[in-house]
Amino acid sequence: MSVPYHRPRRLRSTAAMRRMTAEYRVDPAELVLPAFVREGLSEPNPIGSMPGVVQHTMDSLVRASAEAVKLGLGGIMLFGIPAERDACGTAGTNPDGVLNKAIAAVRAEVGDALVIMSDVCLDEFTDHGHCGVLAEDGSVDNDASLEIYAQMAVTQADAGAHMLGPSGMMDGQVAVIRQALDAAGHQDVSQIAYAAKYSSAFYGPFREAVDSQLKGDRRTYQMHSANRREALREVELDLEEGADIIMVKPAMSYLDILADVARISPVPVAAYQISGEYAMIEAAAANGWIDRKAAIEESVLGIKRAGANIILTYWAAEMAQWLRDRS
């Protein structure tokens, strides 16, 4: 029997060897923590389908943002849940609305030490749960929604957001927001564009997290999961409109899309590890079917390996602590 000269196993022989030769590593600065703040709470409210995640009070959100700075996280993405909703989502454009007050509170706490991101979308604020306002026939009115997005964007920038996340998948949203920001003197406020956001069954726990009022689905504006080339078209359009960062959402079932986008994008690429991905791992781990920590780390590393420069994950703070403990 001839002895092989090439033995790849040599570089797997010890933990130190594997660590030294690892091709990809996750850094806390690449992680963004999504966080929910709900109006009227006196204490954080656990989200049943997302063990370990809560709807924050204003005070607990501020504490979470301060902890994120200590852990070296890259950013925090804020979502607001108002006490009252209406057809036009007016709580989203109200400077005293829960999300805008949360942005201001977090900015007062952390300043520029953390990238404060905020969701520019109407789904949390409308009584019908759609990401835009409705036309008379019940469809989502793209252009009327853009007008409200522009107002939301300026209000959030006024409150202190560093980066806005238009997530509604309305055509032209990045351009309209960019124009509104520039006209209001917010030229330095950036956009992380949800460029390739797919209609997914894995958003279920998020609907609980934001107390969604949605009946039906969002298939007329979020992308069809069967489409791959279309994602590149969406990315190219958002880049033309001035997106500063491009995002793919969800991550788990769309790693091929993430890799495609990473190959062509001249700007940083983000991916959102969504609520359903989180819930599946937590549920399997709770049943003793998988090693929780190993599964979390592997799932996040897979997103990094596929091409993400920035990863939004509900495990951001926990992972950052693990990375710190390991160093």
* Dist. CA 49–CA 273, nearest whole Å: 15
How does pLDDT run along the chain (327 residues), one tens digit per residue?
677 788 899 999 999 999 999 999 999 999 999 999 999 999 999 999 999 999 999 999 999 999 999 999 999 999 999 999 999 999 999 999 999 999 999 999 999 999 999 999 999 999 998 999 999 999 999 999 999 999 999 999 999 999 999 999 999 999 999 999 999 999 999 999 999 999 999 998 888 888 888 887 888 999 999 999 999 999 999 999 999 999 999 999 999 999 999 999 999 999 999 999 999 999 999 999 999 999 999 999 999 999 999 999 999 999 999 999 987
Residues 6+ apart with CB under 8 A from 310: 30, 31, 32, 74, 75, 192, 245, 247, 268, 269, 270, 271
Q: List the domain boundaries for the chain.
A: 25-326
User: With contact defined as beta carbons under 8 Å apart, do 304 and 30 qualify?
Assistant: yes
Longest CA–CA separation in the chain, Å: 78
pLDDT of residue 292: 98
CATH match for 25-326 among 3.20.20.70, 3.40.718.10, 3.40.50.2000, 3.40.50.720: 3.20.20.70
pLDDT digits (tens, 9 = 90+) for 193-244: 999 999 999 998 888 888 888 887 888 999 999 999 999 999 999 999 999 9
Instruction: Give pLDDT tens digits for 73-105.
Output: 999 999 999 999 999 999 999 999 999 999 999
Q: What's this model's pTM, rounded to 2 decimal places?
A: 0.96
Catalytic residues: 197, 249
